[in-house]
Copies of this chain bind each other. A is one copy, B any other.
Amino acid sequence: MNDPLENWADQVRAGDVRAISRAMSAIENRSSEAEALLKYLFPHTGRAFRIGVTGAPGTGKSTLVDQMAAFYRRQGKTVGIIAVDPSSPFTGGAILGDRIRMQRHAGDNGIFIRSMATRGYLGGLAQATGDATLLLDAAGKDVILIETVGVGQGEIEVVRLADCTLVVLVPGMGDDVQNLKAGLMEIGDIFVLNKSDREEAGRFEQQLLAILELVPARNGWKPPVVRMVATANQGTDALAHQIDLFRKHQAGATDRGARELVYWKEWLLRLLQGRLIERTLGNHTSEAEFDRMVSEVAARKKDPYAAVNEILARSKRD
């Protein structure tokens, strides 16, 4: 008899949509099944090219991601899309969004779309997204698009999982400034100026190029700016071309092995921290209790060491 997990893993590797969906749910629920499954799948990962897509809400990231997915499908490549929303609770909203997007690619088994959201106060979304990326990688997807809903610290952590990061900007969103949130300039490998048919696009592009002039090249790569009108599928080829150039640049970079080690070191530490925090805090101290401790510390009624020792003592009780 085969191990049922091994069967499941085989189905995932064969690209079976239901098997992949079940695995995604297991990852979201942080079930022990997910880990057991991923152990089977892990040796078969490392092939997919992961593209992170970030930018403020309203910049048209979803449309852009869909156009990119369609482009790669026309090239005969299989595609996975993970839409990540650190801010929203785990609700039907994400699922509804998936259904709408799925309809655009209805009947195409070569594309898999899934939303992920945060549950609880302990984070862990970057970890879940990382696991989902491994899953789609093992499922044979050639390209994985990881799309964030907003731009915050959580999102930046998520796109660090990618091989190539696109930052999507839009000219004249109320104030141009809106688009240039914390850390964005530094994480972009390619900048996409979406909705570039707008009147203000030229001026905005000049500003953007001037700022990028000031950002140091990383390993000899100067981030280019690609003009797009995603809704009209304009600029998709140019963007795909830049992604391809970046991919070749990275493949030839001398620091590739070192980057892989940094990547997995961070992954292991994050996984370990998540496990420890979950075990210690999640199982024994509720969010309300934790928040109460924080308030007491802020009011100098309890010292931080006492608070942490209290949390640690609780977790030892069982």
Contact A45 B304 (CB under 8 A): no
A241 at the interface (CB under 8 A from B): no
Shortest A163–chain B CB gap in Å is: 14
Tell which of B183, B207, B216 touches A177, judged by Cβ atoms closer than 8 Å: B216
Chain B residues, Cβ within 8 Å of A264: 294, 297-298, 304
A25 to B109, CA, bound (A): 62
Contact A305 B38 (CB under 8 A): yes
The yes or no answer to A76 lying at the interface (CB within 8 A) is no
User: Given A183-B186, A207-B214, A294-B261 in contact, is the A308-B271 Cβ separation under 8 Å?
Assistant: yes
Is A230 positioned at the interface, with any CB of B under 8 Å from its CB? Answer: no
Residues of A274-297 whose CB lies within 8 A of B: 275-277, 280-281, 290-291, 293-295, 297
Residue A318 lies at the interface, judged by CB distance under 8 Å to chain B: no
- Given A275-B308, A303-B39, A183-B180 contact (CB < 8 Å): no
What is the CA–CA distance of A297 and B265 in the complex, to the nearest angstrom? 9
Q: Report if A95 contacts B (CB, 8 A).
A: no
Is the CB–CB distance between A304 and B214 below 8 Å?
Answer: no
Do A215 and B42 have beta carbons less than 8 Å apart? Answer: no
Q: How far is the CB of A125 from chain B (nearest CB, A)?
A: 15
A312 interfacial contact with B, CB 8 Å: yes
Question: In the complex the two chains form, is A277's CB within 8 Å of B269's CB?
Answer: yes
**CB pair B176 A186 closer than 8 Å:** no
Residues A3-57 near B (CB distance < 8 A): 35, 38-39, 42-43, 45-46
* A interface, over-half SS: helix
A181–B185 Cα gap in the complex (Å)? 10
Hey, which chain B residues are within 8 Å of A210, CB to CB? 210
Shortest beta-carbon distance, A305 to chain B, in Å? 5
A162 proximity list for chain B (CB < 8 A): none
CB distance from A274 to the nearest CB of B (A): 9
Say yes or no for A260: interface residue by CB 8 A criterion: yes
- In Å, the complex CA distance between A282 and B273 comes to 13
Among all A-B residue pairs, the 5 with the closest Cβ atoms: A42-B303, A276-B276, A182-B186, A264-B298, A265-B294
Write the residues of chain A forming the contact surface with B, with a CB cutoff of 8 angstroms: 35, 38-39, 42-43, 45-46, 175-178, 180-183, 185-186, 207, 210-211, 213-216, 260-261, 263-265, 267-269, 271-273, 275-277, 280-281, 290-291, 293-295, 297-298, 300, 303-308, 311-312
